[in-house]
Amino acid sequence: MTLRIEFTSQAFPTSYTFRCGTLETSWSEILWAAITLGRPSAYHVFRHGPSSFHEAIFRLALIRMAVEQDWSLHLRRTDAFAALDPTEKGMVSYFLGMTLCKLFASRLLATPWLLHLDVFREHLNPAILGRSRPDLVGEDVSGRWHAFESKGRSAAPSQSDKNKAKFQALRLISIGNQNCSMNIGSFAFFNPDVLEFFWKDPDPKTAIPIELPRPDGEWRYYYEPALSLATESSSGPMASEAELADVEISIHPEIWRLLEGGRWSAAREIAKQNREAFRLQGYQADGLKVSPGNSWMKPYEPRGDRWR
């Protein structure tokens, strides 16, 4: 089923023809974007295994609790989201912002692989990263790197919000000695109750630059949640929790073999080389496929400490 997200673009190079309009997407794509955000979390203090499974379930739960499709097939915030306190709304909005940034980067910039800057912490002085920096970095299918500052808001962003996002995105200047092609500030927001998206590629000038190494083992953060969810969904103590999420994860056999061997970077490279063949077989460019169940087409219904 098609879902619709209204968007506005500003200051992109003329080679990109999109300006504003409606992105037609699906629950499958949105949940894929949420699960594959290459981002560490509190669960990673426990390292591998079940921690990645719980991270995947957590991300699905945030999406399920925050938005539901309306009669026009737009995404509308749920009553449960509206009832959250400001701190909780901020956390959920931030995650929605990253999810939509990943979705739009994949669809409109041919950049399906995104990593959070926090995965590079062991390589960089945390004081250099700081709080005023972009959230995500991604490589497009032609090998160009882009930086993204991703934000979420309960209402339309102000000009001050847009300027702050622009400054943060501009701080990242290179990955593996290769300059960033674009430095984009983006927002997911509700207007007034319908989810929309705004992004801008500002002029490249900044101070206190951040330079990152080329990612290698960091691709583990991208693939691990999906691999864990696919592994634990069929059997074991967490099968019932996976069933409640009502999502099926499929991994291309060639990618599955590499992921099970912990060859995260090799899996990413193989997917990049075979992305068109994977798409023809129903997978995303990274070799993953997310199939949501029927419950995702229905209104959100809180049920104690569960969700459906």
Joined together, the tokens standing for residue 173 give 């200047």
- Give dist(CA 270, CA 196) in Å, integer: 33
Tell me phi and psi for residue 59, to 5 degrees.
Answer: -65, -40
**Nearest partner of 65 among 53, 77, 52, judged by Cα:** 77
Q: Is the residue at 86 inside a domain? A: yes
Is the residue at 20 inside a domain?
yes
Q: Which residues, including other chains, have CB under 8 Å from residue 75's CB and lie 6 or more apart? A: 3, 5, 30, 67, 68, 69, 194, 195
Q: Mean of the per-residue pLDDT values for the chain?
A: 85
pLDDT tens digits, 33-92: 999 998 876 544 334 456 788 889 889 999 999 999 999 999 999 999 999 999 989 989
Residue 103 lies in a domain: yes
Please state, as a whole number, how many other Cβ atoms lie within 10 Å of the Cβ of residue 239. Answer: 12
Number of domains in the chain: 1
Q: Let me know if residue 87 belongs to a domain.
A: yes
CA angle 111, 100, 233 (to 5 degrees): 90
Q: Is 282 inside a domain boundary?
A: no
Q: What value does the mean pLDDT take over residues 23-31? A: 97
Distance CA 150, CA 111 (A): 15
Please give the average per-residue pLDDT across 294-299, as a whole number.
Answer: 91
Say which amino acid occupies 61. Answer: A
The pair of three-digit structure tokens given for residue 243, joined into one six-digit string: 């069933």
pLDDT digits (tens, 9 = 90+) for 88-147: 899 899 999 999 999 999 999 999 999 988 888 776 554 455 555 678 999 999 999 998
Cβ–Cβ under 8 Å, residues 3 and 299: no
Give the pLDDT mean for 9-32. Answer: 91
The answer to whether position 304 is within a domain reads no
pLDDT at 180: 84
pTM of structure: 0.88
Evaluate whether residue 236 is within a structural domain: no
Give the pLDDT band (50/70/90) at residue 187: very high
Q: Which domain holds residue 73?
A: 3-218
**pLDDT by residue (tens digit) across 206-262?**
556 678 889 999 999 999 999 999 987 666 666 667 788 899 999 999 999 999 999
In a domain, 108, yes or no: yes
What is the structure's pLDDT at 43?
A: 44
**Range with lowest mean pLDDT among 2-16, 173-187, 212-226:** 173-187
